[in-house]
Chain A
Amino acid sequence: MATVSFQQASRIYPKSERPAVDSLDLEIADGEFLVLVGPSGCGKSTSLRMLAGLEEVDTGSIVIGDRDVTDSPPKERDIAMVFQNYALYPHMTVEENMGFALKLAGLSKDERATRVREAAKILDLEPYLSRRPKALSGGQRQRVAMGRAIVRNPQVFLMDEPLSNLDAKLRVQTRTQIAALQRRLGTTTVYVTHDQVEAMTMGDRVAVLKDGVLQQCDTPGVLYDRPANVFVAGFIGSPAMNLVTGDAVDGGVQVGSGMLPVPRDHLTRAAASNGKVTVGFRPETVRLVGPGEGLPVRVNVVEQLGSDAFLYTSLADAPDDVLHSADLVVRTEPRTPVAAGQQLWLGADRGALHVFDAQTQQRVD
């Protein structure tokens, strides 16, 4: 077990202007489950591969425990990795796949067998030890890949989108199993995913990346309740947070013909740059208010989910086309008597508003 730290670590691919990972600073505690999340191309996989030793670190350094491993090859880092496509050796049986690293480390045959069996028991793989990967289901392959990592008892687990090749149902199941397994083993884990639900449900802390730059790293709760900037606000949560931009006026933000009341101190700070303010509010915090109050919207689609309902709306002044059909999303009680085409007025609890400077995109409170 060990801590992991990225210190101003950057990766700049040859012939590329922009760094794939830009001066990443990240401290991961011993035994922590840290999730790197972001849209594709944000540098999350590159960061993981830098930690694994599969990618150069151009500037800065990476430390595992108290050892600077910046220049060490993967085998000297005492890490194990679970790949997106599992990367199981196709010509080896499950047992050989799991024992390969141990064999290379010079462990005796008996010792190998014992440790492989132990891991296989935890992962419910015992009946399949003599099978080849080809003869396994997707979920079983995924477990073998996990098993290959845990038999080594490494200092750090690295997981690169390990669930993305599973179907939706199995993904949810395996998600909880991996989280439980990690808690049981207590091994420091860095987990990469593009799926914010996965990130929120699994991580002790979640680091959000965009364009190679770390946006925010905190617990799921803080990310949800206090996103540091507009990007994190829009990325975390499903359906996404509603974000509208308008001019700061007395008492609130003017958006088209409507107005959202915003506390004065937030307003002045947010408008400091250029007088524009971005306000965010989550679908579940929206209240339907009386005509003439709040934001006037047109309902485009009503989605009845049984437990609740979602209204997909656009601002009344917005052009009536597909592009704007889901600008603002509202979660309401199921079977709310609202129909498509209807006009509504939306308001939000003051306490639930997220206020950002429209120019710097940063949170102001």
Chain B
Amino acid sequence: MATLAPPVTDTGRDTPPAAPTTRRRGHRGGSKAGKPGPVTYTLLTLVALVSIFPLYWTLVAGSHTNAEIAATPPPFLPNASLFDNFQAALEQAPIGKAILNSVLVAGSITVGTVLFCTLAGFAFAKLQFRGKGVLLGLVIGTMMVPTQLAVIPLFMMIAELQWVNQLQAVILPTLVSAFGVFFMRQYLISALPNELLEAGRVDGASTFRIFWSIVVPVARPAMAVLAMLTFLTAWNEFFWPLIALTTANPTVQVALAGLGSGYVPQRSVIMAGTLLGTLPVLIVFTILGKQIVGGIMQGAVKG
């Protein structure tokens, strides 16, 4: 379990950070390896191309007819058949419904996770109570338990509750995350000086008031990062939804899994469907990409 502890030891547990504003990482020009040469740019461009090509290819293949992509040489530019293929994909799998479901599922999970993990992360970071160490160990320990270990009883549970094929079956079990608690704890340890809480107590605020009026505003940046990461993870969640839902009421991932299992797999239709199911995430990513990158890097140092 010790290995799952943060790679960078948490600062501020013993010595509170100097001032609320100093937690931001300062400019570290010295650590940069200097000016990059053309080789660096070439290599990076290559990696960028490899990263983006499969997604681009989805667009290319999804916008041609089956016969056109099978041609030699294969086409490398998008074509006109995209909307025909979209239509065919929508007929084969309820992708529209799936997108709506996924928005509902990922949205609920995000709200729940951020709320519960901020509460628990604050308690683990700043409050003293008996059994705190054991409980935190439990949280961190379960980060390495495979999902497979939970699905059988979960499936029995939702069968009992007649929740099979219902969205709550995929929302409820994922409503909290051990990673989220740990992430919020690490953030609050370094970003929330004890003095701020003490100032609140001296000012006469109750514990709960301190949480809403002081902790939550300070935690907001981390909550935003956790929200983005949770939404992404929940949107892409595959294993449990595949078990709990069917293609009659699927999330995007379940619908995509069903797309490929037709008797005569139509490559261009599958690709068009994949594009359709991935598009919402790609749009979100295009808008918030910078923040998500920042969040992951921040999480790496803090958690």
Contacts and interface: CB of A to CB of B under 8 A. Distances in A.
A–B touching in complex (CB under 8 Å): yes
Given A74-B202, A75-B202, 6 more contacts: A75-B201, A85-B20, A89-B199, A90-B217, A91-B217, A101-B203
Interface string B178-219: 000000000000000101101101111100010001100110
A74 B199 CA distance: 10
B203 A100 contact: yes
A81 B20 contact: no
Nearest to B198: A54
Contact of A79 (B19, B202, B209): B202
A85 B18 contact: yes
A91 B192 CA distance: 12
7 contacts: A53-B202, A54-B202, A81-B198, A83-B199, A85-B195, A104-B209, A148-B203
B204 A75 contact: yes
A80 B217 CA distance: 23
A14 B218 CA distance: 30
Contacts of B195: 83-85, 87
Contacts of A104: 203-205, 209
B206 to A, nearest CB: 8
Nearest to A158: B202
Contacts of A89: 196, 199, 213-214, 217
B133 to A, nearest CB: 14
B40 interface: no
Contacts of A52: 198, 202
Contacts of A148: 199, 203
A101 B204 contact: yes
Most chain A C-beta atoms within 10 Å of own C-beta, residue among B193, B198, B209, B217: B198
B21 interface: yes
B202 A165 contact: no
Nearest to A75: B204
A91 B214 CA distance: 8
A73 interface: yes
Contacts of B209: 104
Interface string A61-85: 0000000000001110001110111
B208 to A, nearest CB: 12
Contacts of A101: 202-204
Interface string B209-251: 1000110011010000000000000000000000000000000
A83 B19 contact: no
Contacts of A83: 195, 198-199
A74 B198 CA distance: 9
Contacts of A305: none
A90 B215 CA distance: 11
Interface residues of B, number: 21
A87 B199 contact: yes
A126 to B, nearest CB: 22
Interface in B269-296: none
Contacts of A183: none
For the complex of A and B, list the 5 residue pairs with the smallest distance between their C-beta atoms, beginning with the closest: A75-B204, A101-B203, A91-B217, A87-B195, A87-B199
B237 to A, nearest CB: 33
| Contact-size category for A | 20 to 34
Interface of A: 52-54, 73-75, 79-81, 83-91, 100-101, 104-105, 133-134, 148, 165
A81 B213 contact: no
B203 A73 contact: no
Contacts of B214: 89
Given A87-B193, A90-B21, A90-B218, A73 B201 contact: yes
Nearest to A145: B199
B14 to A, nearest CB: 13
A104 B19 CA distance: 24
B196 A87 contact: yes
Nearest to B203: A101
Contacts of A134: 21
Given A54-B201, A104-B204, A105-B204, A165 B196 contact: no
A7 to B, nearest CB: 22
Given A52-B202, A75-B201, A87-B198, A100 B213 contact: yes
B218 A74 contact: no
A83 B209 CA distance: 20
Nearest to A105: B204
B19 A85 contact: yes
A104 B204 CA distance: 6
A73 B193 CA distance: 20
Nearest to B205: A104
Nearest to B195: A87
Nearest to A76: B204
Interface in B74-105: none
Contacts of B20: 85, 88, 90, 133
Nearest to A81: B202
Given A85-B18, A85-B195, A134-B21, A80 B218 contact: no
Most chain B C-beta atoms within 10 Å of own C-beta, residue among A52, A53, A84, A85: A85
